Amino acid sequence: MQVESPSSPNQGLCLELGAGDLSERTQLEELEEDVHFVFSEFRFHLEPKLHLEPGSLVTLSQDPPNQPQSQTGLGSFWLKSGSVKEAIPEDAPEPLGMEVDLQMFVDSDHAGDKLTRRSRTGMLIYCNMALIDWVSKKQPTVESSVFGAEFVAMKFGIEKLRGLRYKLRMMGVPISGPLHVYGDNLSVVTNGQKPESQLKKKNNAICYHAVRESVAMGETLISHIRTNDNLADFLTKVLSGSKRRGLVSKVLYDIYDHE
């Protein structure tokens, strides 16, 4: 049996609750457990339209209304059994596209905003040495040190790379290896790459563990580069004309006349 909706529009969510009897309460509690079990097992195959009714059963089981609402849970089962027809895959299919390599240059200034003293994150993302994305964004928090600002930028960049990697994977494009991240702060690279290093500043613990987790699982490989070679440097602060010209010419080769 297939239904269009697990509950009737006239039924609503039953906001006017009454003192239901014990048998009805027990029935709704059992139905709630069954619905949540099925929905947890098949959560990757369900549409967002099925997220309201299971949650409403929690309220109904705690204080059932005067009229039975078991049809809400049964309708959820009917809708699911009639709409999900494909088998559950054991694992994601193997990607059939050509392998690509992802690289990122990340940098941060320290307290560059004179009004709020917030730092700015800058990053350049390359796919097979082709620039595909760039970011110059003010950080949401005020960091008390250069180390903290660089770690916040590193964490933001890794999260953005993770999302890009997932998109490529969904399109059938495999990644050749770990995501290569380049930063010019040696302390951040050391703390993020080496497991034996110790974090001395507890206020940066969240960013530290996020970066360390990505490195430990083999998702990211962090490397140190010189400040003059960090292409993301011009996205974080105002540079002199010659230095800015040198970095921009490496990113956009045809923007300047080369002698």
Strands (E), the chain: 102-108, 120-127, 130-138, 179-183, 220-224
In terms of domains, do 76 and 199 share one?
no
Does some domain include residue 17? Answer: no
Q: What is the pLDDT of residues 115-124, one digit of tens each?
A: 899 999 999 9
How high is the pLDDT of residue 122? 94
Which position has the higher pLDDT, 224 or 201? 224
Share of the chain above pLDDT 90, in %: 36
- 39-48, 107-116, 152-161, range with the lowest pLDDT: 39-48
Q: What are phi and psi of 230, to 5 degrees?
A: -80, 110
Does some domain include residue 190? Answer: yes
Identify which of 240, 217, 120, 201 has the alpha carbon closest to the alpha carbon of residue 165: 217
Total residues belonging to the chain: 259
Q: Give the pLDDT band of residue 114 (cuts 50, 70, 90).
A: confident
In terms of domains, do 64 and 189 share one?
no
- Domain carrying residue 110: 102-255
Query: Mutual orientation of helices 146-170 and 205-216 as an angle, nearest 10°?
Result: 40
In terms of domains, do 35 and 162 share one?
no
Share of the chain above pLDDT 70, in %: 62
Does some domain include residue 159? Answer: yes
In terms of domains, do 74 and 135 share one?
no
Counted domains in the chain: 2
The answer on pLDDT for 211 being more than 90 is: yes
The answer on pLDDT for 34 being more than 80 is: no
Q: Quick one: CA torsion of 46, 48, 50, 52, rounded to 10 degrees?
A: 150
Q: What is the pLDDT of residues 124-160, one digit of tens each?
A: 999 998 999 999 999 998 998 999 999 999 999 999 9
Which position has the higher pLDDT, 97 or 15? 97
How high is the pLDDT of residue 32? 60
Does some domain include residue 6? Answer: no
Q: What is the pLDDT of residues 60-84, one digit of tens each?
A: 555 554 444 445 444 544 444 445 5
Give the Cα separation of 75 and 79 in Å (integer): 6
Q: Give the pLDDT band of residue 50 (cuts 50, 70, 90).
A: very low
Does some domain include residue 95? Answer: no
Does some domain include residue 145? Answer: yes
